[in-house]
Chain A
Amino acid sequence: MFIHPTLLADASGQILEEITEQVTAKPEKILQGTEKMDGTQIAAMTIVGLAVVFSALLILVIFLYLSGGIFKSAGKQKKSAPEKAAPAKPAPAAKPAAVRQPPKAPAPAAADDSEVIAVIMAAIAAMGAADGKQYKLHSVRQVTRRGSGRSVWAQAGLNDATKPF
């Protein structure tokens, strides 16, 4: 079936016009629902339909990239602001994730680590009770897997969350 390009362009233009003008109360529809369509109408409807869907969602993509960029830069500014405000202090509070022994001064981050260590210790003790051996925990370090870019904990969480699927 050959459709002349001029006919197709005319029909597409007509449909586009119809969509843009539909703000008015009750517009005349371009295709009568009870009638069968010819090849030109079918092709024009398909092209225009896809074009409108893509354009609408493309505008949303552009909007999201723009707003995402603004929020990212705002977030960076927020982060850098407190660092600039207090540069003199060496800030020893935030200890790295590697913990060799329970901390003496209980800071919030350290308290979280202690909780994790307690859970790990409990798991090891349970394992030891099963095979009649005693284990000693020397250090707990966060390991980042290079392949997936996720920590073991994140990987375990993902495994758990997506296992049913």
Chain B
Amino acid sequence: MGGVIDFFTNTIQGLWEDSGIHALFASGGWKNLLMILISFVFMYLAIAKGFEPLLLLPISFGMLLTNLPMAELYHADLWQLVDGHVNYGRVLRDGGLLDILYLGVKLQLYPPLIFLGIGCMTDFSPLIANPKSFLLGAAAQGGIFFTFVVAGLLGFTAAEAGSIAIIGGADGPTAIYVSTRLLTGGGAITTGNIALAAYTYMALVPIIQPPIMRALTTKKQRAVKMEQLRTVSKTERIIFPIAVTIIVSLLVPSAAPLVGMLMFGNLLKESGVAARLIDTAQNALMNIITIFLGVSVGATTKADQIFSLKFGGVMLLGVIAFSLGTACGLIFGKIMYRVTGGKVNPLIGSAGVSAVPMAARISQKVGAETDPTNFLLMHAMGPNVAGVIGSAVAAGVLLSVIG
């Protein structure tokens, strides 16, 4: 009888010690508990406030899963470099579900595939009709490089500064692509931190941008009505993705995976002969990749990496990057306003920070505040999609210089 009782108590004790509840109360368990609560905050923002829910919801759920003690879904130690390389054999052998899904992030598969879907959904006609928009898209990338300066001066390493700076591109997949390549693991900043900051601020574009737009433009400038855009022929729309792929890939080869897939998706759309492929790329494939990307990137936000001064720095510099990008686009918009004799509304410059189509909507909204009969949406879509190409080129520059 005593043996049975001993066996029973030992089993119960073993089960208790193996449980997540026990681990939560062990030393350092409070950090996991706090991370779980933070994941609830992000879930709330995604569900109740509609903050980029398609990505913030999977990211926050990945955050929850990875911080459940003993669940062993993701192992940060498996991704540490050994002799300069990740031991992928070990990841496949010992990895949990989220480790396996994270392979797609680490091997840089997901962001280009998301770009394929984005390409299928993007209409580049406003950009083709008004090529000047490209310059606004380029100017807004100033946010990336000026933030790089700030991060560098604050003592971040080159890889960390590049990863933080790319948040200013306001493009989630590009930010994840760059940070995964640059941050080799083991540091205080992870891809998850960068993704969280990027998507949080992208959701906050309607709050961050308008005050900067109003501060940097006069009422007269905001009221400028732009000429109607010309109609773009189908042949032009077909040639565009092919030409952009060749030109950008030859100039900045590191940008080829992102720009190439973006343009491939766009060519599928504009060709008009691949309806089934477009349907898959912009719906099923895009949704599957979004789930895998979100949940596995969220998994990298382990408690010990979030509670650091550097993560606070990432969040602070992230908002600076967004603001600088907006300001650079606006300032260049003002230059174009002067050069063209008042034909360009500077407000479309702020749309140069990717964040498609939210940034263009904000240009429309702020323009309509000054004059309700002013329709800037299509004009702002030009710099907006140019920003996607611009941030991919900027990403290519960072990747080719920082090792």
Contact = CB atoms under 8 A, between A and B. Distances in A.
Chain B binds chain A: yes
B364 A33 contact: no
Interface in B204-260: 225, 227-228, 230, 233, 235-236, 239-240, 243-244, 247-248, 251-254
A30 interface: yes
Contacts of A34: 157-159, 184
B341 interface: no
A155 to B, nearest CB: 8
Interface in B73-93: none
Interface stretch (B47-55, B289-297, B305-313, B387-395): B387-395
B131 A32 contact: no
A142 interface: no
B377 A28 contact: no
B9 to A, nearest CB: 51
Contacts, number: 161
Given A29-B402, A33-B182, A165-B364, A48 B135 contact: no
A33 B402 contact: yes
A48 B397 CA distance: 9
Given A57-B135, A162-B375, A49 B394 contact: yes
Nearest to A34: B157
Given A42-B149, A61-B134, A56 B401 contact: no
Interface in A41-95: 41-43, 45-46, 48-50, 52-61, 63-65, 67-68, 71-72, 75
Given A29-B402, A61-B132, A67-B243, A53 B390 contact: yes
B138 A57 contact: yes
B141 interface: yes
A65 B131 CA distance: 7
A136 interface: no
Interface string B336-366: 0000000000000000000000000100110
Interface centre among B152, B184, B235, B239 (most CB of A within 10 A): B152
A41 B251 CA distance: 22
Interface string B31-70: 0000000000000000000000000000000000000000
Contacts of B3: none
Contacts of A27: 400
B128 interface: yes
Contacts of B155: 36
A15 B148 contact: no
B138 A53 contact: yes
Given A49-B148, A58-B134, A61-B131, A19 B236 contact: no
B197 interface: no
Interface of B: 127-129, 131-132, 134-135, 137-139, 141-142, 144-146, 148-149, 152-153, 155-159, 161-162, 182, 184, 225, 227-228, 230, 233, 235-236, 239-240, 243-244, 247-248, 251-254, 361, 364-365, 368, 373, 375, 377, 386, 389-390, 393-394, 397-398, 400-403
When A and B form their complex, which 8 residue pairs have the shortest distance between CB atoms, in order from nearest?
A29-B403, A33-B159, A64-B131, A42-B152, A31-B158, A57-B138, A57-B134, A46-B145
